[in-house]
Each structure stands twice: as structure tokens, then as C-alpha cells.
């Protein structure tokens, strides 16, 4: 293993002359009275297809976007972590790297610095040497990824903090390893996610989407049709998934669905934590798994008592084996609907990637659009994670979009629409006129940050300022 090197496939000089670098460096110097040693840049992402299935063990197809988290950092002279942010709503924070707590008692939603501390802890816990003395750091942070929008602003912050921690501590990691570390450590914030956001943040390739598989982590470049363009649009409703139980409830429902099916099929259900584990154990295709769902699960919600009876456990045993602390209060679970979505969505990912692999066929864009549209219908009806404003965005976009779906956890956030190079500008104009300007929640915000055309961007970048001297 070796530490990730500073980026060499880009112009450091031109990048570091960007106004954001200059402003962040000024903030850093004004705040800490010294120069940063590194700049770390980690992109947001948009998931094209494969929603709510990475934590079930299934593959996904995201791409990085141009918006990012940018951190200026250097080591401190003691054990302190000192953080400042260009956003005045994000207050300065400091702690001791040896004794910090990620979540303050009673803090909901988590503070912005909690995501930084997740990345720090992930790196520190991965150290193999017990004799390593942690090095604190000074960091100034800025970002232009819309917050709580489904574009992975929180994961980008975790990943950038982990990378900064590894650099100042001179810890050896590959990007693949950091992706796994960050996927695990972000769970300290309270959300039981998969690993998509962290993998694309570190491993994205400019110009390509990525087919990301898990256990073990594997990535394959996906060349999108040459005329494909994606439009991101914010619903004007944001949701911090760490602040509610909705996300974790879906994770629990998928786990319980797999465990009940496993029990009915004579498997050791306690070993089944993901629906992909169940499929492997049963040695069935995705289509056959859909049939198994219909055969073994009923459509009306399961009560907690019914789940306990099916698994032959007490409520306390169930909470210990299968439920995140944030969902222990939940009394009913929709297992049929959640499992059916997962198996069908996993199939859509396979079809999406296969279409892209076959090149620029005459109807490729239309087929991709149909898969995206079907994905949203499933997310809205089976997974119940859409929002009226997301649905309205999709309805408006349908005039020009070949397909449109929510992206990210849902319950707000953004949509991603597939268009062509010719129709994308008209789609952006249509959304501005028919959705944003007619919505009182718009309140004069910068439209160009709410709706924009994007293309596949690169993964994280490291800039060593000493190499610029």
C-alpha cells in the first residue's frame, strides 16, 4: 500500500487559480495564521440507477458531478482539530483528536463537523500500528454541493475529511481502501448506508459513469451513449436522512424481509443481513427472487409482533439482531414492497449497464429513459420515498426528458433527467419557468444552482501546495 499521490492528470496551476481555492486559502490564513499544506477536493455524485439497493448488497450506477467539497488543511502543532467553514451557518469547531465524540448528546440533526469527525475516526480506527500517535490538523472547508439534496454532500465531507486525516498523519491507504473505510465510518452518524457514495467519490473517472459492485468492492467504467446528457433539478424540499428514521427504517425492512424469507426457506436467518446474501444462499436469479417475495411475504404491513413470531424471537432479541436503535420505535414494516423494489431495481441496473455496453444503438437512450422512469415509479409506490415536489418535477420534465427519477435517499432532494444534447437546454428552461418561478419556495434563489446540466466528473483530487512553489 502507498499513500494516494497528488493528482497528476490535471493542471494544478489552473485549478488552484480558481476563485474558490483563493478564497479558501485566504480564510485559512486569516483564521489559522499559517498556509495550508494540502487542498483536498471530493465530488458529489448523482446516482443514475440503483436506488436504495447498495445497502442490500446490490450494484449501482452513479457518476461524479462537478460540484464538490474542498478542504484546505495542514497539521496542527498539538492534538487539536480546528475547523472553520466558508458558510456562516456552519460554526467553527475544535476538539482533541484523541478524545472527541462524533455526536453531541441531544444534537439532531448532526452538526456539520460531525461528518468531518466520522472521516477522522474511520482513518484512526484503521491504523494497524498501536504506537501511532495521531496528528491533529487545521482545516478550512467550503462546498457547492446542495445540502440534503441527494447529491451526497455529507459523504463527500466524510471522504474529504478522511483523506485529509490520512495525509497529515502520513497514513498509507489506497483509494479503494478509503472508500471502504468511509462507508463504514459514516455509519457513526446514525445512518446505515451502503458504499456507493464513498466509492464514486474516490474512484470516479471523468467522462464515465461507474458500475459499482460490493463485497468485495469492484468498479467498472460505463460509457454512456454519446448524446446522453443529464439534468439535475432540486425539488426545493430538503431532508437530512440522519435526522429522521425513514432511511434506517427502509434498511431494517429489507433486512427483516430477507430474514423472514430465509427462515421460511430453512436457512440460518441470523446470517442473512442483506437481500443479496439471501439470493446467493438460495442460488436463484433476480426474477426468481421476485417470485419468492410473492410466495413468502404478504402485502399488508407486518407488525413487530408478527415479525417476532415469524422469526421465533422476543422483541428484545429482534431489536438486538435486526433493528437499528433509530427504528426500535417502529411498529409496522412493509416487507413485501421493499424487497420487491430491491430485486426489481437490481435488475434495472443490470439492464442499464448492458444497454450502455452495447454502444450507441438507435434506441439506447429511449431504453435507458424507460428504466429510469420505472425506477422512480417503484421508489414512489413500493419504497415510498418520493415527495410531491419530486413527483411534480418529474411531471414537468416529461415534456423533454427521456426518463426522470429521484436520486439519492429521496423524501425530497433532487431529480435526475436523461435528455439529449439538443433538448437539455430546453429542459432546463422549462423547469425554471414551469416549476421554480411558479413555486413560492423558490424565493429568488440562484436558479443555476437549483437546476443544471451535468456530465460525469472525476473522483477526489489532492493538491500539495509545496509542489507549486
* Cβ atoms 280, 271 nearer than 8 A: no
**The 80-85 sheet, strands edge to edge:** 93-96, 80-85, 137-143, 61-75, 38-49, 461-464
* Lookup: cell for 223: 460509457
| Region for residue 173 given its phi and psi (left: phi exceeds 0; alpha: psi -120 to 50; beta: otherwise) | beta
Give the H or E element holding residue 115: helix 112-125
Q: Which of 346, 251, 248, 340 is nearest to 297 (CA)?
A: 340
The catalytic residue positions are 197
The separation between the first and the last C-alpha atoms of the chain, rounded to the nearest angstrom, is 28
Whole-angstrom CA distances from 174 to 118, 199, 277, 426, 448 are 18, 12, 27, 42, 35
Gap between the Cα atoms of 346 and 360, Å rounded: 23
Taking each helix axis from N to C end, the angle separating 246-264 and 286-296, rounded to the nearest 10 degrees, works out to 90
Q: Is the peptide bond before 386 cis (omega within 30 degrees of 0)?
A: no
DSSP H or E stretch at residue 462: strand 461-464
Burial of 114 by CB count in 10 Å (0-12 exposed, 13-18 middle, 19+ buried)?
Answer: buried
Q: Which of 52, 241, 91 has its CA nearest to residue 153?
A: 241
Cβ atoms of residues 60 and 49 within 8 Å? yes
Instruction: Report DSSP state, residue 457.
Output: B
Longest dimension (CA), the chain: 68
Cell digits of residue 47: 446516482
Amino acid at each position: 500500500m502507498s499513500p494516494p499521490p497528488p493528482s497528476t492528470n490535471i493542471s494544478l496551476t489552473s485549478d488552484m487559480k480558481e476563485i474558490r481555492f483563493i478564497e479558501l486559502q485566504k480564510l485559512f490564513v486569516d483564521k489559522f495564521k499559517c498556509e495550508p499544506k494540502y487542498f483536498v477536493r471530493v465530488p458529489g455524485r448523482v446516482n443514475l440507477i440503483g436506488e436504495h439497493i447498495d445497502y442490500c448488497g446490490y450494484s449501482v450506477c452513479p457518476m461524479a458531478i462537478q460540484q464538490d467539497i474542498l478542504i484546505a488543511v495542514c497539521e496542527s502543532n498539538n492534538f487539536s482539530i480546528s475547523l472553520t467553514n466558508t458558510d456562516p451557518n456552519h460554526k467553527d469547531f475544535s476538539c482533541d483528536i484523541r478524545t472527541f465524540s462524533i455526536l453531541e448528546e441531544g444534537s439532531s440533526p448532526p452538526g456539520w463537523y460531525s461528518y468531518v469527525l466520522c472521516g477522522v475516526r474511520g482513518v484512526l480506527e484503521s491504523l494497524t500500528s498501536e504506537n501511532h500517535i495521531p496528528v491533529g490538523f487545521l482545516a478550512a472547508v467550503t462546498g457547492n454541493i446542495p445540502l440534503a439534496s441527494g447529491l451526497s454532500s455529507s459523504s463527500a465531507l466524510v471522504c474529504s475529511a478522511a483523506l485529509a486525516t490520512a495525509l497529515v498523519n502520513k497514513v498509507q491507504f489506497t483509494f479503494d481502501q478509503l472508500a471502504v473505510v468511509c462507508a463504514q465510518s459514516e455509519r457513526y452518524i446514525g445512518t446505515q448506508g451502503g458504499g456507493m457514495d464513498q466509492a464514486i467519490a474516490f474512484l470516479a473517472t471523468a467522462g464515465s459513469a461507474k458500475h459499482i459492485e460490493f463485497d468485495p468492492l469492484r468498479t467498472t467504467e460505463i460509457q454512456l451513449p454519446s448524446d446522453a446528457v443529464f439534468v439535475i433539478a432540486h425539488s426545493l424540499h430538503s431532508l437530512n436522512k440522519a435526522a429522521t428514521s425513514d432511511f434506517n427504517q427502509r434498511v431494517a425492512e429489507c433486512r427483516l424481509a430477507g430474514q423472514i424469507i430465509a427462515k421460511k426457506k430453512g436457512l440460518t436467518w441470523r446470517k442473512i443481513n442483506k437481500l443479496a446474501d439471501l439470493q446467493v444462499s438460495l442460488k436463484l436469479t433476480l426474477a426468481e427472487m421476485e417470485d419468492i417475495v410473492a410466495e413468502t411475504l404478504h402485502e399488508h404491513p407486518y407488525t413487530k409482533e408478527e415479525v417476532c413470531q415469524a422469526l421465533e424471537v422476543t422483541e428484545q432479541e429482534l431489536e438486538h439482531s435486526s433493528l437499528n436503535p433509530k427504528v426500535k420505535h417502529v411498529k409496522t414494516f412493509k416487507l413485501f414492497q421493499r424487497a420487491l423494489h430491491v430485486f426489481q431495481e437490481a435488475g434495472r441496473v443490470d439492464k442499464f449497464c448492458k444497454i450502455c455496453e452495447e454502444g450507441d444503438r438507435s434506441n439506447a437512450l429511449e431504453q435507458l429513459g424507460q428504466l429510469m422512469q420505472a425506477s422512480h415509479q417503484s421508489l414512489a409506490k413500493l419504497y415510498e420515498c418520493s415527495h410531491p415536489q419530486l413527483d411534480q418535477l418529474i411531471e414537468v420534465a416529461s415534456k423533454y426528458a427521456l426518463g426522470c427519477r429521484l436520486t439519492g435517499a429521496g423524501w425530497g432532494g433532487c431529480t435526475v433527467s436523461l435528455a439529449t444534447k439538443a433538448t437539455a437546454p430546453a429542459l432546463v428552461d422549462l423547469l425554471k419557468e414551469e416549476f421554480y418561478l411558479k413555486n413560492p419556495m423558490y424565493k429568488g434563489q440562484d436558479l443555476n444552482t437549483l437546476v443544471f446540466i451535468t456530465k460525469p466528473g472525476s473522483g477526489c483530487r489532492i493538491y500539495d501546495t509545496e509542489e507549486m512553489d
